Amino acid sequence: MLDRRRWLLGAAGSTAWTIASALAAPAALAGQDFISTRPSQDARQLVDWIRQTGDAQGRPYAVVDKRNAHIYIFDAKGQLAGHSAALLGSTLGDHTVPGVGARAQDGSIGQDERTTPAGRFDAVPGVNVSGEAVVWVDYASAFAIHRLRPGFSYGPRTQRLASAAAQGKRVSWGCVVVPVAFYRDVVEKVLGQARSVVYVMPETRPVRALLQAMDR
């Protein structure tokens, strides 16, 4: 079981100064390397908050923008190491269905259970039941960042990753799936060596709700 601090969607938060500052922060705060990728305003707000508060505590971190089906990887110094389109859970929602981790092992996950949960997660590198290297975002629910796997769906999923349409990238069982080269060259080198933090942005609520919950 991971030592993790998860976001509860129904939790109320205070409008602390760190949130207000992040929402009003100048674009330069996020770093030109990140800004040059043209992230969404919500992603910029979250990255500003992470940098202002030092929430990652000197660890590398990832920001997953679900609405835009994109992932950003930052090294331990907060510099952007890389970014990529990503495949996400085929079912919209920011929650984790109880027991989904066990069902992931035998392939019995229902269509309505295939969500990519939102929140802040303490992640660790590891391997899955097939011995494949992954980054466990939440081990208990089998939620991980992993590479695109070979098989009959490899070609169609590669095409989806290359497409500009975010809606077409909602095809996974809930994991964040990235291109093989991106996993090898960025994810494995930055997140795959030690503990990290993964921030998954919500899609059913504004990013401000996540900031408030984390700032309690």
pLDDT in tens, 105-124: 656 565 666 789 999 999 99
Domain 17-214 belongs to what topology? L,D-transpeptidase catalytic domain-like (2.40.440)
Side chain identity, residue 176 = V
Residues in the chain: 216
User: What's residue 88's pLDDT?
Assistant: 95
User: What's residue 93's pLDDT?
Assistant: 83
Query: What's the alpha-carbon Rg for the chain, to the nearest Å?
Result: 16
Q: Which one, of 87, 58, 88, lies nearest residue 74 by Cα?
A: 58
Domain ranges of the chain: 17-214
pLDDT in tens, 35-50: 999 999 999 999 999 9
pLDDT tens, per residue, the chain with 216 residues:
343 344 443 333 333 435 444 444 444 456 789 999 999 999 999 999 999 999 999 999 999 999 999 999 999 999 999 999 999 998 888 876 665 555 556 565 656 667 899 999 999 999 998 899 999 999 888 899 999 987 667 778 888 898 888 989 999 889 999 999 999 999 999 999 999 999 999 999 999 888 888 876
User: What's residue 15's pLDDT?
Assistant: 36
DSSP 60-120: -EEEEETTTTEEEEE-TTS-EEEEEE-BEESS--S---TTHHHHHHHT---GGG-----EE
